[in-house]
Amino acid sequence: MSAPLTSLDRPNSYIGRSVPRPNAKRLLAGRGRYVSDLRLPRMLHAAFLRSPHAHAKIISIDVAQARALEGVHLVAIGADLAKICTPWTGTLDHFKGMTSAPQLPLPLDRVVWAGQAVVAVVAESRAIAEDALELIEIDYEDLPVVADIDSAREAGGPLINPGSGNNVCFRSQLDNGSVDDAFAHAAHVVEEEFCFGRHTAVTLEPRAIVAEYDPAAGALTVHHATQTPYQFQDLYSRHYGIPEARVRVIATDIGGSFGMKLHVYHEDMAVVGLSILLGRPVKYVADRMESFVSDIHARDHRVRARMALDAEGEILAMDVLDLTAIGAFSTYPRTSVVEGNQVIRLMGAPYRFKNYRATLEVIFQNKVQTSQYRAVGHPIACAVTERLVDMAAVKLGLDPLAIRAQNLIADDAYPQTSPTGYRFEALSHQACLKRLHEIMDYDALRAEQAELRKSGVYHGIGIAAFVEITNPSPAFYGVGGARISSQDGAILSLTPSGEVRCLISVTEQGQGTEAIISQIVADQLGLAQEHVKVITGDTEVTPHGGATWACRGAGIGGETALQAARALRRNILEIAALILQEQPSALDIIDGEVVDAGTRNQRMPISEIARIAYFRSDTLPPGTQAQLTVSHHFAPQGYPFAFTNGIQGCSLEVDVETGFIKMLKHFIVEDCGRVINPMLVDEQLRGGIVQGLGAALFEECRYSETGQLVNGSLADYLVPMPMEMPDIVIAHVETPTADTELGAKGCGEAGTAAASACVLNAVNDALTPFNATINSIPITPAKVLKALKRF
Amino acid sequence: MKARAFSYFRAATIDQALDARARAGDDARFIAGGQSLVPALSLRLQAPRLLIDITHISELRGVRREGGYLRIGALTRHCEMLSEPLIAEFAPLLHAAAPFVAHPAIRNRGTFGGSVAHADPASEFPAMTLALGAEIEIIGPSGGRRVKADDFFVDLFETALQPGELITAVFVPLFKADQRFAFDELARRRGDYALVGCGMLATSTGERIDDIRISFFSVGNTPTRVKGTEATLIGSSLGAERIAAAQAALEGDLAPPDSDEVPPAMRLHLARVLLGRMLGRLGERA
Ligand SMILES: Cc1cc2nc3c(=O)[nH]c(=O)nc-3n(C[C@H](O)[C@H](O)[C@H](O)COP(=O)(O)OP(=O)(O)OC[C@H]3O[C@@H](n4cnc5c(N)ncnc54)[C@H](O)[C@@H]3O)c2cc1C
């Protein structure tokens, strides 16, 4: 199925090649420049006093002592910032009927989660600002706290937003008919309730921002650790009334984002306002403790689902209810309902069946906001679907791989529309399944499992097929009224010495965007990769575009770069043809040299073309104007999303006395279309899988009944660490999308999408001899021991 | 978060340290490796006016034999527990516990004395001093003394140390040919504080256990010796039945605290499983 775009043995053939990322050495040498490294002249530091209550009225705030402390420049409360910042509301038009309360940088009279910033202090240093926080007195009056799904849905229970009739943010239904009928006539029905804990991103670099308002120029510059500088340029401009052209957002080196760094955070908005009030640069870096109570969380779903099958094991229908509890409001500007929406639309996505019904209810509660985090909705839809498939397999006495082979959509059946309404261009489930069987040495694993059971060692094998949403079109946000671009732009210039500068709107957070863009440009132009410099993340310099969200850097940004490089190549060859008195079509560029297309004989270095065009244009034929800078924008067309697919497998051991789980090995076969840099794709898959394993085994934001986060530190919130992670075996199938020349789709979320589902299935597989089941993640020792009735 | 401002004094001798502490009163803290104290400062859980750095006091360094004991200086770092041959030979239980204490970066700085003084009930070394029958050497404004580990750990983060006193060394009885030891813990991730952990030191004649000291950590407010459990084992060999009796006796020795993630019954269960496995291994080595 592999369809090479260029042959790899041609010089400068970088597409498909594992080349190291150009910025790796700089970052490893400690030469990165992160926002927290920034020290601007006259810069001050902000710190925030946070609410200890999950829900309370603010009776009074006394800041007199804090203001008087030496070194303190400003103490601001909600009303101070409300004067200069307009409120925002986290709803989108295409989510019909959704509601959310307007928000301000700091609250006026009510706090709605424990950890919400209430007062801002700006001082000479962060330490002084924190000293001042200790001098502030706030009088609160407790309000009833809504701390879980059940109390939020209780009739007559406490309300989070006074004036609303209930705590519902959004309801949605999908029904393509005949579901009741299908279940009534099914030979087999499996049904279960699943719980998915809250977790959060835990980036190496926390959120960081330096806002610098220059009152003389009326201009705002924000150095911001964000994935989406253009989105924030627009937001800062609109909410603070500064013309867009005078707002510059710079996002250079960023230490991970995973979707966490593209939402509006109250502190970030406040810092911009504080800088405007002071006319000085203001810096704020969230510390780890603050991050836990203010970064977005994700998941927090309870799903009841059932699946109907015929006597042979053919899946007939699914029926799903997803209840998901978000924060006290919906996140701006991307909302908090996208995850639930994707959960109900990705259910059953790899399988061929007809009848589907789903209800989604998104509920407010007094916790920090939730929103999009790596693999939005995928792990939930995948775990529910794949667990039901395994339950069905047990019921029917089928092997987990056999029931999947029977039901996965055939590779020659495309285009296909899923029962939930997604349109698939071309997927490769069956090929991936076959490959997984081989790389796992599945039959040997099963034999070993049976053998070990005899001696009281319990291995489990888990399989999970998945579909990933990538290359989103405006159908994702644009149609809902959000000013979030789904297109990208690139500007390419040939420099006077014959190198190429590429300014592009996709951004780099450590995933290697700049590496693949330079590969594509060098490949298409016929240059050594080191002669391409890629510049990202500065709204003043790079063209407007979507930047980094969902999975789009390679698929959309890559195509933009490819088209721009082809345009520049045409222009270079046009000038070369004039100088060499040839037809442009008779020429090519290889390794920075213009050559005869047929013989590959060198004719002239492109540095010479640049020299002539820039310094001796008088020697060109009259009327020639060399265009050695080109710009190109590309917006996805055709399918609204480029879906990808794959399948994961794992083997693990459950210690049935301690409840501890040891990951033994993890496997993935993935199809992201054209692979631009195999090494980077593999690293994306590995990283994604590790995040999925974190969710499966370790990560959970645990709350008390009063809405307090009880494990908000890295000592108590467990992230996956190398010692516990298994080796990960990777294989690829390549089905390029025909919607672009490049053919690339995304791969950043594939690992996370199915890793937790795999573990869930494997643990249940291991527990089969005990008649014990687990249907909630994370799967902690306590849950395993409970299921085994060991205490 | 940033620590509140404090002054810093580097002491060159024990006298200087005690003197500075006496003058500053309760607003001063000794700092050794800083691996417990610095996080507490950064979180503003503690905000002393003065830190007295004891890491340059040479009298607190060094590991040597003294009579029937190994004298381990208070400033001995966790990583030295792994590299120091005298410890491997004469206090192998500490050597075995050390890899489980945090991560290399922390082991490079954290000190034995600091760990014992801090007395975190989830820490490995304080519990091992109990299993070893060690003695803590202390010096203070009113002179020096040695306190048995059994009498040292009083309550949560509370020890026999009086305000202004310094641990100078820990004395560990030399490991003998008729002794066996075991160490293990159950931690979610390598390097984490354990859900439950245990160290034991047995003296035996052939298969018969003449004496055994078993100490648990992460099971309550202090490191905990389980004397009732020990009693079930003394005088017999480590057969399956004896081990089961010891496991059953644990309930009388331990009263694990309530915790949202590990309920008391679960912790007791884990302690039993761990004890059973360790005694099994100890028995195999007879
Ligand atoms: C991320 C992390 C993980 C960790 N994991 C573990 C673990 O798994 N197991 C574990 O056991 N520990 C762990 N620790 C703690 C570590 O072992 C500490 O180093 C140790 O507990 C304290 O030793 P210190 O020398 O760093 O003491 P400091 O932090 O310098 O001091 C701690 C306290 O002891 C007092 N003190 C220090 N030395 C003396 C002395 N000689 N006499 C009197 N008082 C003294 C200080 O005044 C202070 O109150 C961890 C620490 C970190 C940061």
* CA proximity to B182, closest of B96, B240, B270: B96
Q: Which pLDDT belongs to residue A9?
A: 65
- Tell whether ligand 1 has an atom less than 6 A from the beta carbon of residue B35: yes
Q: Using a CB-CB distance cutoff of 8 angstroms, which residues of chain B are in contact with residue A717?
A: none
* CA proximity to A569, closest of A551, A597, A589: A589
Question: What distance in Å separates the CA atoms of residue B255 and residue A278, rounded to the nearest whole number?
Answer: 57
ipTM: 0.96
Q: Are strands A593-596 and A602-605 parallel, antiparallel or unpaired?
A: antiparallel
- H or E, element range at B276: helix B264-284
- Strand (E) positions, A389-445? 416-417, 423-424
3-state secondary structure of A608: helix
The model's pLDDT over A147-200, given as tens digits with 9 standing for 90+, comes to 999 999 999 999 999 889 999 999 999 999 899 999 999 999 999 999 999 999
Q: Do A782 and B270 touch (CB under 8 A)?
A: no
| B193 touches A: beta carbon within 8 Å | yes
Say which DSSP state B174 is in.
P
Residue A1 has pLDDT above 50, yes or no: no
- Tell whether ligand 1 has an atom less than 6 A from the beta carbon of residue B270: no
pLDDT band, very low/low/confident/very high, at A3 (cuts 50, 70, 90): very low
* CA proximity to A212, closest of A262, A239, A248: A248
Q: Which pLDDT belongs to residue B285?
A: 76
Task: State how far residue B79 is from chain A, nearest Cα, in angstroms.
Answer: 19
The model's pLDDT over A422-463, given as tens digits with 9 standing for 90+, comes to 999 999 999 999 999 999 999 999 999 999 999 999 999 999
Q: Which pLDDT belongs to residue A12?
A: 86
Q: Using a CB-CB distance cutoff of 8 angstroms, which residues of chain A are in contact with residue B273?
A: 657-658
Question: What distance in Å separates the CA atoms of residue B233 and residue B98, rounded to the nearest whole number?
Answer: 27
Domain formed by B179-284, architecture: 2-Layer Sandwich (3.30)
Residue partners of A702: CB distance under 8 A and separation at least 6: A197, A709, A710, A711, B260, B261
Q: Are strands B7-10 and B50-53 parallel, antiparallel or unpaired?
A: parallel
3-state secondary structure of A100: coil
Residue A358 has pLDDT above 60, yes or no: yes
Say which DSSP state A328 is in.
S
Specify whether the CB–CB gap between A689 and A648 falls below 8 A.
yes
Residue A2 has pLDDT above 90, yes or no: no
* CA proximity to A332, closest of A268, A264, A238: A264
Q: Which pLDDT belongs to residue A677?
A: 96
Q: Which domains does chain A have, with CATH numbers?
A: 24-32+487-634 (3.30.365.10), 35-143+202-294 (3.90.1170.50), 379-470+643-787 (3.30.365.10)
The model's pLDDT over B47-61, given as tens digits with 9 standing for 90+, comes to 999 999 999 999 999
Average pLDDT of B179-186? 98
Lookup result for tokens 């209800």: A359
The model's pLDDT over A466-509, given as tens digits with 9 standing for 90+, comes to 999 999 999 889 999 999 999 999 999 999 999 999 999 999 99
3-state secondary structure of A298: strand
* CA proximity to A392, closest of A382, A408, A403: A403
Lookup result for tokens 């079109």: A473
Q: Which pLDDT belongs to residue A8?
A: 62
- Tell whether ligand 1 has an atom less than 6 A from the beta carbon of residue B257: no
Q: Using a CB-CB distance cutoff of 8 angstroms, which residues of chain A are in contact with residue B280?
A: none
Phi and psi of B215, rounded to 5°? Answer: -130, 135
Residues facing residue A668 across a β-bridge = A648, A730
Hey, what are A423's tokens?
């349109």
- Tell whether ligand 1 has an atom less than 6 A from the beta carbon of residue B128: no
Q: Which pLDDT belongs to residue A10?
A: 74
Q: Do B2 and A130 touch (CB under 8 A)?
A: yes
List the residue whose alpha carbon is closest to atom 10 of ligand 1: B123
Question: What distance in Å separates the CA atoms of residue A248 and residue A629, rounded to the nearest whole number?
Answer: 23
Domain formed by B7-53, architecture: 2-Layer Sandwich (3.30)
Q: Which pLDDT belongs to residue A11?
A: 80
End-to-end CA distance of chain B: 52
Question: What distance in Å separates the CA atoms of residue B86 and residue A645, rounded to the nearest whole number?
Answer: 58
Residue A5 has pLDDT above 80, yes or no: no
- Cβ–Cβ contacts within 10 Å for residue A395, how many? 15
Q: Do A782 and B269 touch (CB under 8 A)?
A: no
What percent of chain A shows pLDDT beyond 70?
99
Pocket test for ligand 1, best of B21, B36, B111 (most atoms within 8 A of CB): B36
Q: What is the dihedral of CA B144, B145, B149, B152, to 10 degrees?
A: -70
- H or E, element range at A679: helix A678-693
The model's pLDDT over A9-40, given as tens digits with 9 standing for 90+, comes to 678 899 999 999 888 999 999 999 999 999 99
Using alpha carbons, list the distances in angstroms from residue A552 to A378, A469, B92. Answer: 16, 10, 56
Phi and psi of B32, rounded to 5°? Answer: -110, -105
| B2 touches A: beta carbon within 8 Å | yes
CATH code for the domain defined by B58-173? 3.30.465.10
- H or E, element range at A501: strand A500-504
Q: What is the dihedral of CA B205, B207, B213, B218, to 10 degrees?
A: 160
| B175 HSE (CA, 13 A, CB side) | 18
Residue A306 has pLDDT above 60, yes or no: yes
Q: Do B273 and A126 touch (CB under 8 A)?
A: no
Q: Which residue of B has its CA nearest to A782?
A: B262
The model's pLDDT over A273-291, given as tens digits with 9 standing for 90+, comes to 999 999 999 999 999 999 9
The model's pLDDT over A607-657, given as tens digits with 9 standing for 90+, comes to 999 999 999 999 999 999 999 999 999 999 999 999 999 999 999 999 999
Question: What distance in Å separates the CA atoms of residue A605 and residue A277, rounded to the nearest whole number?
Answer: 55
What is the average pLDDT score of chain B? 97
* CA proximity to A542, closest of A310, A100, A96, A228: A228
Q: Which pLDDT belongs to residue A160?
A: 95
Question: What distance in Å separates the CA atoms of residue A369 and residue A350, rounded to the nearest whole number?
Answer: 31
Q: Which pLDDT belongs to residue B286?
A: 66
Q: Which residues of chain A have a Cβ shorter than 8 Å from any chain B Cβ?
A: 125-127, 130-131, 134, 287, 289, 657-658, 660, 698, 702, 704, 710-711, 715, 718, 721, 723-724, 780-782, 785, 790-791
* CA proximity to A427, closest of A749, A733, A158: A733
Q: Are strands A488-494 and B69-73 parallel, antiparallel or unpaired?
A: unpaired
Question: What distance in Å separates the CA atoms of residue A761 and residue A778, rounded to the nearest whole number?
Answer: 13
With 0-12 CB in 10 A as exposed, 13-18 as middle and 19+ as buried, what is A10? exposed
Pocket test for ligand 1, best of B115, B152, B159 (most atoms within 8 A of CB): B115
Nearest ligand 1 atom to alpha carbon B138: 42
Buried/exposed code over A63-84 (b: 16+ C-beta within 10 A; e: otherwise): beebeebeebbbbbbbebbbee
Residue partners of B218: CB distance under 8 A and separation at least 6: B121, B122, B185, B193, B194, B195, B196, B197, B267
Mutate which: A785, A788, A789, vs B, most B CBs within 10 A:
A785
Hey, what are B35's tokens?
């691996």
| B261 touches A: beta carbon within 8 Å | yes
Q: Where are the domains of chain B?
A: 7-53, 58-173, 179-284
What percent of chain A shows pLDDT beyond 90?
96
Q: Which residue of B has its CA nearest to A725?
A: B189
Residue partners of A186: CB distance under 8 A and separation at least 6: A308, A309, A310, A316, A317
The model's pLDDT over A650-699, given as tens digits with 9 standing for 90+, comes to 999 999 999 999 999 999 999 999 999 999 999 999 999 999 999 999 99
Task: State how far residue A657 is from chain B, nearest Cα, in angstroms.
Answer: 7
Question: What distance in Å separates the CA atoms of residue A268 and residue A259, rounded to the nearest whole number?
Answer: 16
The model's pLDDT over A61-110, given as tens digits with 9 standing for 90+, comes to 999 999 999 999 999 999 999 999 999 999 999 999 999 999 999 999 99
